[in-house]
């Protein structure tokens, strides 16, 4: 009986992981929102709000286009490069977690 319960719970968790594995569109939206939030925070109001939104939309699309996604069914890894910066995210349960953030050597 314990084995059956464990098996059912395991199947349910794996099904949930598969269903909530973020898509490339989810990642694109995450990047746009993150960039808009950071740009708004760095800009002086009131121009910062609309400028942050505009640059976030454009920059988010560029970063998302330069991202490599590796889909492992239950989760996905996203490797993004922009400039001399490399960032790795794991996408799981429709959320994104930063795994690594590296800056390249200055030239």
Q: Any idea which residue has 């590296």 for tokens?
A: 102
Q: What is the pLDDT of residues 25-78, one digit of tens each?
A: 999 899 888 887 877 777 666 655 666 666 666 767 777 788 999 999 999 999
pTM (global) more than 0.85: no
User: How many other C-beta atoms can be found within 10 angstroms of the C-beta atom of residue 57?
Assistant: 12
Question: Domain limits of the chain?
Answer: 2-103
* Ordered DSSP codes for 24-72: HHHHHHHHHHHHHHHHHHHSPTTHHHHHHHHHHHHHHHHHHHTEEEEE-
Q: Answer whether 94's CB lies under 8 Å from 18's CB.
A: no
């Amino acid at each position: 009986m314990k084995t059956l319960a464990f098996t059912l719970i395991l199947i349910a968790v794996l099904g949930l992981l598969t269903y909530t594995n973020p898509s490339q569109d989810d990642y694109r939206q995450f990047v746009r929102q993150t960039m808009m939030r950071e740009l708004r925070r760095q800009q002086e109001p009131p121009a910062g709000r609309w400028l942050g939104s505009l640059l976030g939309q454009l920059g988010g699309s560029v970063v998302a286009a330069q991202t490599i996604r590796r889909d492992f069914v239950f989760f996905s890894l996203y490797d993004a490069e922009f400039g001399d910066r490399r960032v790795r995210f794991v996408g799981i349960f429709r959320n994104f977690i930063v795994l690594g953030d590296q800056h390249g050597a200055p030239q």
